[in-house]
Structure 1
Amino acid sequence: MSSYFMNCCLFRPRSRSSFFAPRTFALGALFIFCGLSVGQSAPRLKAIELVKEAATSFGRGDLGLVIQICRQALTLDPTYPRAYTYLGAAYQRRGERQTACNAFNRVLKLAPGSPDAVRARRGVRELACNALAVSGARINLRLENRWSATSGIAALAFSSDGSQISGGGSDGAWRLWRASDGRLDRLERGEGVEAGATAAGPHFFALGLGNGQIRLFDANSGRESGRIEARSGTVTGLAYSPNRQLLAAAGSDGALKIFDARTNSLQRQIPGDGFFVSSVAWSPDGRFVAAGVGSMVRVYQAQSGHLVRVLSGDGLPVAALSWSRGNLLAGAIGYKIRVWNGATGRLQRILSGHRLSVSALSFGNGNTLASGGYDQQLRLWNAASGSSLGAFSLHAAQIRALSFDGTGKRLASGDQNGLVGIWRLP
């Protein structure tokens, strides 16, 4: 009987309960009867036999013996991923976080596509282990903190001073977390419509909703301070101008509206032509605003509303936009990211690496660009050179929101399942 069948015997899909819960270990007995693959080395065969014993001991709750046996197995075969899997699970049960993280990360390096990796990824998420680079990393991205909301994350934004994070959820609620430890400082219940966008002003946060409203919250008290009746459709994109005096709002009705952030009055409306506007981004000097309209990026002069240029993709919808301080404009289109010169509209780079559609972008300092999407990977890029800085694993669902703080040293990521990660760049 093959080792593949042995994996299938022991590693069937599980419910959300712990993978190595004692009640699941009736399956562990199958380990003994599944047989061994022909051609295995003698050390690997002996390690397999030892890990069978570890599985039985884990089912009895004898964690010390599990650790002892797995260590013995790894002296025989240091590359046997299942030994690291049981070792990590045992240390996790004992509350020895860093040692468990080391074991789980070792599994992911040795056998990223194996059944053992399923359990290891769960451990990494549960323990908030440091980010694991799943492809060659050229930057030391560290997971600083993580927490979970009770609904999917649709949008994230750091406060101006970086001390708080505003989050819009698929339940329409607004959440304000303390960035240092993830403590929920404020929760404003939703009104039956999804929150599509959020942005941080100098003293308040804006939350765009599916009913066309923008709710405004005081950053100090967390209380609602006003509302803007923005449009007839969903608010899909919000962005404050660099000087925080204007608020641009995009929506499903196709129009782009610009409001005075001090008075909430409408300053300019740029009519749409029926196409869904997915996102909005300001140029670093505040003179221009870009909107993702269907499969195009339209750049307007903010003061006059005049259309300056149209940037075309490859026929796929523009899912996200971000404009860097260095005047690079990035657009997520399908699996790829197009990077244009913000001043001339010339296409500079096409960034490829995601396996599924990209749904979130955010520029940090300089040319550092973060991207995330349906493949659940967080990727960092040098957008100017087009080089990948690495792909990192934490999320187990579509990454829907990314936001750098003002320093460009911290990055928040949020996914469809409600997991929020805070990352630290060197």
Structure 2
Amino acid sequence: MSVEASEPQRPGVRGWAVWTLPPRVLATVLFVEVVAVVLVVGGLARRPPPSPEDLTAAAVLVLLGVAYTELSVGVERMRRRLVDANHVDLNSVWTFASIVVLTGPHAAVVAVVMLMHLWARAWRPSVPLYRQLFSVATVVLACLATGAFLERVGPPEYRLWVLLVAIGLYAAVNTGLIAAVVRVSTPDAVPSALLGPWDENVLEIGMLCMGALTAIALVLNPWSVLLVLPPLFAVLRAVQVRPLEVAASTDGKTGLLNAAAWLTEAERVLVRPGAAERAGGVLVLDLDHFKAVNDTYGHVVGDRVLAAVADALRRVVRAHDLVGRLGGEEFVVMPRRMAHGARSVELDAVELEVVAERIRARVADLRLTLPAAGGARTVVGLTVSIGGAVLPANGSDLASLLQTADTALYAAKRAGRNTVRIEVAPVRR
């Protein structure tokens, strides 16, 4: 492993983080943002100034959105620290309400104000400005598309089918644009990376439905919008549960399962005789010469290397395989296979070695450009030693599997590192 010094980061516009994006990703992001700006400016220029009623409605929605953001700052910060909570903001209730009450371009302006306030108060530490501007652009285009639909079908009169189509259109445009950029950035991204986890999507639909109810309340009786607030506060409390659960089971540096959570899940897999998928074995991975990175370039660079290796693991293994960080530079993987059908220890050993070799090759191909004191550093030549333990035909306990895998890992280290060694665990007694 080696670390090369790159050009020092340049101050000013040329030093913005956005220019580090791959050319295709950068072009896609800038295209979406330019289209959003042109359509909003053009839409505002073609329309008469908003009426006093529209200005009042916009002011009420902005005030409600700002107040709700202030109440949800802690929750939003917690959710943004999680790897998968990257698609939905809790302010979409006010954004969608503005689409129903106002015209598309005017609703887009309201959305921009609320989203930038949300970023400044809750997301700024973890979300770069260029990413936030792209998120704003996707919401703006969703507002314009949904607003155009509502204008096309005439006054919505709060017909159920109109509101349902509007909700679906808003979610499809917003999520679709984000998924498109993720696909350009990572062609082999799994569906959960493109569309976000299912519970986040359910949360978005729920908030959009609350937005429709808010719009109805605001038009029929402005004071009745206060009735929307208690359910929103209930949602706010409820969404704190998942971040706390994830935080308790997730390694903060890599987003993988922490050691305690991985051990608990692995034990469950081993003791479920009727499960559709069984463990085929265990792989224990250790980064070679990782201490040199921390000692030479600091723990900030070291932590980013760990995160990059964790991401490489996610791309190699399947979604249902158990992946965790045991601590330091050591990771653990439990691949799972279908339980039915005749199997042999030899076949399991071959499959486990194939997975291990894919991981080893993926890590060896990593080339990471990371910020560091004195300029960016390019980390190349990362290697990993892997020890594997195959589950014997009569079964074995987790402690024996891990001990066997650890023994195989040290054998891989003695063999010169950047290699794989697989052994069969002892039979459970």
TM-score (norm 2): 0.26
TM-score (norm 1): 0.26
Structure (1/2) with the larger helix percentage: 2
Structure (1/2) with the larger strand percentage: 1
| Relative contact order, higher structure (CA 8 A, sep 6+) | 2
